[in-house]
Copies of this chain bind each other. A is one copy, B any other.
Amino acid sequence: MAIPSQAPKNMQQQDFEAPKRIKRADQIVESVKRWVVVNGKQPGDRLPNERELMEQFECSKGTVREALKSLEVQGLVSIKTGPNGGAVLERVPYEKASQLLRNFLHFEQPTGPEIYALRTLVEPEIAALATPRLQDEDFARLESLVACCETPARNFEERMQQRIAELEFHVVLAECCDNAMLAFIGRFLNDMIRDLVIFKKAQLPEQQEFSCANLNYHKQLLEALRARDAELARQLMRQHMQSAEHFNRELEGQLQKHFLA
Contact = CB atoms under 8 A, between A and B. Distances in A.
A254 interface: no
A101 B101 contact: yes
Contacts of A181: 105, 110, 114-115, 118
A170 B230 CA distance: 30
B114 A104 contact: no
B104 A92 contact: yes
A184 to B, nearest CB: 7
Contacts of A117: 125, 179, 182
28 contacts: A42-B107, A43-B107, A62-B65, A70-B73, A73-B74, A74-B100, A74-B103, A75-B100, A75-B104, A91-B107, A92-B106, A92-B107, A96-B104, A97-B100, A97-B103, A97-B104, A100-B101, A101-B101, A105-B184, A110-B179, A110-B180, A114-B179, A114-B181, A115-B181, A117-B125, A118-B181, A118-B182, A121-B122
Most buried by B among A92, A96, A105, A184: A92
Interface of A: 25, 42-43, 62, 65-66, 69-70, 73-76, 91-92, 94, 96-97, 100-101, 103-108, 110, 114-115, 117-118, 121-122, 125, 179-182, 184-185
A21 to B, nearest CB: 10
Number of copies: 2
Q: What secondary structure prevails in chain A residues at the interface with B?
A: helix
Nearest to A113: B179
Contact of A104 (B62, B125, B184): B184
A69 B25 contact: yes
Contact of A73 (B73, B92, B110, B118): B73
Given A43-B107, A62-B65, 6 more contacts: A42-B107, A70-B70, A73-B74, A91-B108, A94-B104, A100-B100
A125 B180 CA distance: 21
